[in-house]
Structure formats: C-alpha cells, structure tokens
A and B are shown apart, each in its own frame.
Chain A
C-alpha cells in the first residue's frame, strides 16, 4: 500500500483556471479549474461527451483555450493569445487507442521521445523503461503483435521516457477486457507512482476512478461539479448529479422542516436547510432491511454475485438496496431503515 503525499504539502505541477473551450455554439468545457500535484493521481470522471477528454487535450496543448489559462511553474502554457505547443510542455500523453507507431518496434516506440540522447544511451533507457512495465522481453516485437494490455504498457513507457512533470491518460483502460483491467491497472499505477509525476486519468468508469484516485474530479456537461477526496465525493456529493456519477444512488423526495428531512424510510438531520421540499440521496448500501423501519414490499430481486440487488416499494416510493446474505423473495414484506451516515439531504 502506498503512502499518499498530502496534497497541501505540494505545489501543483499544472493548474487550470477558468478554462473554457467552445466548438461553435457548444461549450465543451466551461470555466473549469483543475490542479495536478506531483506524485498524486487525479481522476477526472464524467459521462461520455461531458468534456473531460477536451479538458485533457487543453492541458496537453493539443487545442487552444478560448478563455481562462493553464499554467506550469508560473509560466503560462495556454491563455489569451498564448499557446505553448505540445512538444514544449513536458507533458506525457497516453491515448485511449494507445496510438503506437506501427512502423517502429516496441523499443523504438519507447525511444521515440529520446532523440536528444546518443543512440546507445537511448536504447538502454528505453529498455529500462520497458523493464518497469515488464515488457523488456518484447522489445523487438511490432506493436500489432502485442495484446491490448501490452500495447497499453508500451504507450505508458513511451510517455514516461522523457520524464514528464505530468502524465495525462485518456480512458486508458476502456479498450481492455474487464478481467485484464485490474492487472494492467496495477502495473500502470506502480510505474506511474515510481515516476513521481503528476498524473491525470480521464475515465467514465466510477469504480475505476474510486480505486485509483488520490484526488477525484467530477465533471458533467462541461462543468466541474466537485473535486476532492474520493471517499468524500462518494459520501458527501454536493449535488444529485455528482452523486449519480459515482454509482447508483436513490433520490428520495423529502419534506424539510425545522432542520429535519422526512422521507418514507425515516427522518434525517438537515441542519441549515430551508423548510420545504427536498431530495435525499442515499446509496443502495445506505438502505437496510431491519427489525424496525418503514414497512415495504420487495418488488424485484436480482442476483449480483456477492449480493442481491433488491427493489422495494414503501408508500408508493421505489428504492434500490443491496442485500448481503439471505435470499429475498418477491412479495416479501420487510422493514427498511435509512443510514444517516450514507445519506445526504439537498434542498430542492
């Protein structure tokens, strides 16, 4: 288990402030802020088309910004009238399709960015990098001879070759079979941590983001919804949209009165919220079958491996929960309580 560098002790390698990118009438990225810290992995999570890849491209200098600025070490990389080309940014890139050069061997792919070194040194360094991603044995192979996971690792070794201050990865695992993902991820993460660079991983996979991120950034429709510790984002989302990005969430209608939110499954503290209608966000694991609580009926069940996914209806309100142990049956009358630690109240 690695020890996380506390975020507050480091200066960000790259910062984006109010970065905006428009395509015609469509705003792909709207006033986004993003900090990448050395030695930390930042995951940018959002649904497809939310602008997260565009933000990565802006950081890498593949596109100019329309507004806002991107800085590194007090030097402006992108800003009004300024655009440092990608080759001068010291940023490593890993693409979703890996973008390996088909006309070069694996070794030459990795050595591509080391043109400034003498031939011998270049080769030695490229080999050392391949060693790190456990691919030294395939150095002479051609890219098309490698499996997806291997190509992925070559792409990473290639990106790390120039010892970039920041490495940006666009959906790095989306092309891999699910059983390969965790293995490749571990190799990749280890190599990234060892490099000590600031890392940005763009992904639409909530589980992946939660597993990898030191810092999590949630994005939707071009805007950053929330940024912070993954656990905090999961349990204390700032909006229903942010909550949904990180996994299934029940949205229960509630009545707020005198700092208490009433739902069909029970009451929750809602300090400081105005009286009136509200919404309670609760994760499936935040609803429990218990001896007491709201009477409810099981209307459907599905076997999910280590758990059953159960849909219950109480007083006309549908909710989903996960049941570990026990075999629920449709039609069972049960009682459901809500875990206040795993729920959050929003004013409507």
Chain B
C-alpha cells in the first residue's frame, strides 16, 4: 500500500489512462507485496492444524502431532517437522524478500492521501458486492451457521466460562510477555539486525512443531528438578514460551515500524541532552512507538486466542482454552456445541480486529493517523 501518488501521477502525464496507470505502474509496483502476501498465506496454511485435523486431511502438521501423540516418537515427529520447517523458512525468506522489495520502494517519495474515485452504477454495485462476498463467505456465513445451530443447544456454561477466562488470561499474559521481549529485541536490533532476523524464525515454525520441540528440553528440566516446578506451572510457562517464540515476528514487525519513526538523530539529541542509552529509549523511543506496542500486543492477543496445536500439546492437564474446547467438541462430533466456544473467540477478537484494521488503514505514510 506504500505507493507514492507521484508515480501514478507521472504515469498519467505520460499518457496512461487511469486503468493503464493501475496496470502498468501500481500493479507491478505491488508485485513484491503480492508475492509476500501469497507466501504468508501458504505459510499459515502449512502451519494450520485445527481445520485439517477436523476434516481428516493428512498433512505434515497432523503427521507431526500423530507421530508424537499416538506413536510417542519424537524422532519420527522430527522427520515430519523438518520438511515443514524447511518449507516455512523458505516461504518466510520469500516474504521478507518481497517486503524489502529493493528497487520497488520510493525512497524520496512524498506522501499525500491517495485520490479516491467515487464509483457509480454497475461498477459501484460490483465493488460493493465483491467486498460483501468476501465478508459473507469468510465470516458471516460460517459464523451465522454456527450461531444458528448452536442456539438450539444449551452450552455447558461453567466449562465455557472457565475456558474463556483461560483464553483471555493466556492471551493477555502472552501479549505482554511477547511485546516486552519483542520491544527489547527491536531496540537492540537497531544495532544488531541479525538477532531480530533469527528470533523471527519462530513465526515460520508451525505451532505443533514448536510445542513438540519445546517438550524435549522441558523433559530434561523435569528430570533434573522433579519437584521444583509443578507440572501445571511448568506447562503454562512452556505455553507462554511457545507463544512468545512463535509470535515474536508478528510482534516485532509493528514495533519495528513504530520505532522507525524515531530517527537516529532523535536518539542522539536525547543523548546530547543528558540521557543515557536506556534513558533515551524510555523518554523517546518507547513513547513514540507506544501505539505500535499496543498494535503488537493486540496482534499477539488475537493469535493466542485461536492458537490450537501448541496449546493442545503443552497445556497442563484439564486446562482448556476456547480453541481447545471447540476442538474437543468437534472431535466428539458435537458440532453445535463446538459453535459456542468458536463464536466466543470471534466475539472476543472482533473489537481488537476492527481497531487493528483501522490502524492499518491509517498507517499508510501521509495518511492522517
């Protein structure tokens, strides 16, 4: 979305029609971004567990979980996990490469609000219908169907309530921990970019792989200090750890772009005015990036809400989140009952999603944020 209006205007003055400017300038300029978006979608699909598990599609992810849970073999789980991680790392590299888009950026571009065109007649209806279709088939139809079929059934309220509480608190703790770590990492990465790159690899790792990978070292700790950490506490810590590791990249990105609003000279100015490095971070960098920190926290929160495989594997006994509950019901073929936790996830996430999408729309350089 970060395209300079001037490039489009230049195309128009060079004889391109509005349509031509879109086809010959805007679209090619957006190519890296489109590739990146595609890579991201493939990455998410690779990592998905809940849907493929429910629809009994054999994928590498379900393979990993089955190898571990049914056959108890970490080694064969790793065999499934390796190509998965390789593919994910490749996609992530592709996505990064696309986003960096060397040569596609407009370094000295000036930003102005993109001109909006008011459509009329068939075009207007067409555009509205297209957007509505996405919304309908993506959210309204499935959510409506769930709601419809769930309404007949009395939910198991105590169970649902407990799961909702668990979900929100795990989301909250996960968001705070991840953002703290990502914030520290982003500040440090201003001087050591490689560290952030490495930490972001977790994003490419499917949750199931991450969880099983974490269990091996955890088992060692359990063996050494059998009494030290109760299984419950340890499970939660591992879970938060998995969330933080997996979602680090998702949190880093908004924080990083928030911090980029602080020019190096601003930091030097603060230093020249008597602040230490940490003092400058506290007085300038963090306040300026505050909105970005909030965005990052919400992104992590939403992702934790719907996270399934890692939670399923690492959660302490009898500790259900809404996603786990929905999965349980679905496994038991109690689909209508599964609707309740699913809808609650949507309800909890919706305000955050709306806030985020407004934020994203406003974040284009030059937009009045």
Please give the residue numbers on chain A whose beta carbons come within 8 Å of chain B beta carbons, in ascending order.
Answer: 60, 62, 85-87, 89, 91-93, 95-97, 99-103, 112-113, 115-116, 155, 158-159, 161-162
Contacts and interface: CB of A to CB of B under 8 A. Distances in A.
A343 to B, nearest CB: 42
Given A85-B271, A86-B271, A87-B271, A99 B276 contact: no
Nearest to A102: B288
Contact of B274 (A87, A97, A99, A155): A87
A119 B30 CA distance: 50
Interface of B: 261, 263, 265-266, 268-276, 279, 283-284, 287-288, 290
Which 8 residue pairs across A and B have the least CB separation, nearest first?
A: A113-B273, A99-B265, A93-B272, A86-B271, A95-B265, A99-B269, A99-B266, A103-B287
A100 B265 CA distance: 9
A290 to B, nearest CB: 49
A307 B347 CA distance: 76
Give the one of A87, A113, A116, A155 with max B CB within 10 A: A87
A95 B269 contact: yes
Contacts of A93: 268-269, 272
8 contacts: A62-B268, A86-B272, A87-B273, A91-B272, A112-B270, A112-B273, A159-B272, A162-B273
A101 B284 contact: yes
A87 B275 contact: yes
Given A95-B265, A99-B265, A101-B266, A60 B284 contact: no
A85 B276 CA distance: 8
Nearest to B286: A103
Given A95-B265, A96-B265, 12 more contacts: A62-B268, A85-B276, A86-B271, A87-B271, A99-B269, A101-B270, A101-B288, A113-B272, A113-B273, A113-B274, A116-B274, A159-B273
Contacts of A89: 272
A185 to B, nearest CB: 21
A280 to B, nearest CB: 42
Contact of A112 (B265, B268, B283, B288): B283
B273 A158 contact: yes
B268 A95 contact: yes
Binding site secondary structure of chain A: loop
Given A102-B261, A113-B273, A115-B274, A86 B268 contact: yes
Contacts of B283: 112
Contacts of A102: 261, 288
A60 B272 contact: yes
Contacts of A91: 272
A189 to B, nearest CB: 21
B190 to A, nearest CB: 14
Contacts of A161: 273
A87 B276 contact: yes
Contacts of B265: 95-97, 99
Contact of A99 (B268, B275, B279, B290): B268
Contacts of B266: 99-101
A97 B274 CA distance: 20
A73 B273 CA distance: 20
A87 B288 contact: no
Nearest to A57: B268
A162 B274 contact: yes
Give the one of A85, A89, A96, A102 with max B CB within 10 A: A102
B277 to A, nearest CB: 8
A100 B269 CA distance: 8
Contacts of B269: 93, 95, 99, 101, 155, 158
Nearest to A161: B273
B259 to A, nearest CB: 13
A138 to B, nearest CB: 19
A222 B270 CA distance: 28
A158 B274 CA distance: 12
A85 B272 CA distance: 9
Nearest to B280: A87
A95 B265 CA distance: 7
Given A99-B263, A99-B265, A87 B272 contact: yes
Give the one of A93, A116, A155 with max B CB within 10 A: A93
B114 to A, nearest CB: 21
